[in-house]
Amino acid sequence: MKRNDIRNIAIIAHVDHGKTTLVDQMLKKSGTFRSNEVVEERVMDSNSLERERGITILSKNTAIHYKDVKINIVDTPGHADFGGEVERIMNMVDGVLLLVDASEGPMPQTRFVLQKALKTGLRPIVVVNKIDRPEARPTEVIDEVLDLFIELEADDDQLEFPVIYASGKSGYAKLNIEDEGEDMTPLFDSILEHIPCPKGDENDGLQLLITSIDYDKYIGRIGIGKITRGTINRGQGAVLVRANDKQVNVKISNLYTYEGLNRVECEKATVGEIIAVSGIADINIGETLCSTDKVEALPSVKIDDPTISMNFMVNDSPFAGREGDYVTSRHLKDRLERELLSNVAMKMEEISSDCFKILGRGELHISILIETMRREGYEFAVSRPEVIMKKTEEGLLEPIEILYVEVPEESSSVVIEKISIRKGEMLNMEPTGTGIMKLQFRIPARGLIGYRSEFLTDTKGYGIFHHLFDGYDKYKGEIRARNRGSLIAFESGTAAGYGISGAQERGKMFISPGTDVYEGMIVGESSRLEDIAVNVCKKKQLTNMRASGSEDSLRLTPPIIFSLEQSLEFIADDELVEITPKSIRLRKKILDKNSRQKSQKK
């Protein structure tokens, strides 16, 4: 049976090529919103972090109606760090819209997301977006996309991809670049014509693979997936086949489909429909819902392994418990375990009762979790990111990344030098003719930890880099993480202008007068290789004696304020970042100076 009244598609692209903006226009032009309804931009980016950073972090479902056909749309992230979100929804759709910027062309993450779609056997439609940009070069971009398809070994059907030219911002699409763009009709018609409709026997036993998890504080966990076989009814009994093949009898309390941006309750759904089910408290991604009379599990979702790990631990600083609502190891463990239920690319290992190792796809992947927990009121400490090594008969293997860099030509030499120090090997160097140099390197993943801020400084903010996981290779040798030590608070108290004035002669400061500090807290970056203890709480002695010039005001340099990512990049192996809802502090693992020195000697 074919469901001609349904199409299931995912929108995939490199970061910032306009996926979420295009979905906005598809929702508007399809009549999903009322004519007088006020709709904010990037309406699909509902998470506060997504709106602040202008990126998509979680894949999300929506649906529109066009010519009596329901088009289920999944908006996906572009960052490779959130690749788990892309991988798991590939089983939920029958085709993809591959968005490519009309100026930039295919980029590193374009390759990553397209590779996942082609491997799953999905039918692509290529959308050349942002064709109204002055520097747009759509014809050349199509040739580059075709080269990428051939390189990724697309089959003959996938190579015959249709092309749509669009402007997500202006809200139009067209089949030929010379045509006048009016609305999104050509895109909708192409989806109906080229994306296969779902197939399956609605009278056979139920088969539904759970590919996504949502949570509602009133109804609990919600499993989302596509019905590949059979029919599901509200209130029916079913069998849930877990990842370990264990079978559990369950009952479907509520059933939902997607209409626009909303989940709508329904009584029944059949083959090809993307639905959500509630009432199963511990339902997980990769599990299959089956009818009681025909229990057959579908292949589970294959997710790439994590490459980066960080330790999350209970905050034991002198300021512990001042600012957070959730501070105990039980709070921390419960929250991390809850994250693992929906974040399929993340794993956890319990090191001790107070320390948990979190394994993820990259620094951004884990830092988003840290920032989310911080906003929820959690207080904890995290260690420096470390790459995950593999021990084999050949020896120690480490994860390798392909690094794509675009820099002004005058900055290229310093970038090449810095990357070579970090054990990077140049693969390609290509001038663009516009003063920009494109560079490609193969570099150990650990060589990229802490490099982003240094890269932006070296390129005066004009450089861009992206990286993709390229597999494992032999250990490349030691890489020096930092060429500067830390300025460490000598005692606990409140920082004073006089103390900071003396300390800033030793390096760059991270704090200003009036900041509460404790012994072992990092208050700045040393100008030397080694750590230096400084007394930032020192006040000027008050006497009745006055000398000419002694009343001159202190000249304090403005402190460097680190973001969360910059803090994680800065710290050394013997340092931590203290995370609270109100503060991000850097500190030594061992706060006491004497104990720290003894530990270093050992």
Given a contact cutoff of 8 angstroms between Cβ atoms, the answer to whether 526 and 506 are in contact is yes
Helix (H) / strand (E) element for 566: namely helix 564-570
Annotated binding site for GTP: 16-21, 129-132
Bridging pattern class, strands 6-13 and 95-101: parallel
Measured CA distances, 463 to 18, 226, 424, 436 (Å): 21, 42, 17, 9
511 in helix, strand or coil?
Answer: coil
Placement of tokens 């030793």 in the chain = 506
Task: Please name the helix (run of DSSP H) or strand (run of DSSP E) that holds residue 439, with its range, or none.
Answer: strand 436-444
Determine contact, residues 418/451, Cβ cutoff 8 Å: yes
Cβ neighbours of residue 11 under 8 Å, at least 6 residues apart? 19, 22, 23, 73, 74, 75, 76, 96, 97, 99
**Cβ–Cβ < 8 Å for 356, 313:** yes
Closest among 107, 179, 182, 184 to 145, alpha carbons compared: 107
What the block records as the tokens of 188 is 């909708």
Distance CA 530, CA 483 (A): 9
DSSP assignment of 322-383 equals SS-SB-SHHHHHHHHHHHHHH-TT-EEEEEETTEEEEEESSHHHHHHHHHHHHHTTB-EEEE
Neighbours of 351 (CB within 10 A): 12
Q: Secondary structure of the chain: what % helix, strand, coil (to 5)? A: 25, 35, 40
Detail the residues annotated as belonging to a binding site: 16-21, 129-132
d(CA 89, CA 111): 17
The amino acid present at 302, given as its one-letter code, is: K
Task: Name which of 302, 345, 307, 360 is nearest 473 in CA terms.
Answer: 307
CA atoms within 13 A on the CB side of 155: 8
Query: What is the rounded CA–CA span in Å between residue 570 and residue 378?
Result: 22
Using DSSP's 3-state secondary structure scheme, residue 397 falls into: strand
406 bridge partner residues: 438, 464
Q: Which of 530, 524, 484, 485 is nearest to 501 (CA)?
A: 524
Asked if residue 111 lies in contact with residue 98, where contact means CB atoms within 8 angstroms, the answer is: no
CB 96 within 8 Å of CB 455: no
- Pairwise CA distance, residues 84 & 482, whole Å: 31
Mapping DSSP to helix (H, G, I), strand (E, B) and coil, where does residue 444 land? strand
Contact 81, 365 (CB under 8 A): yes
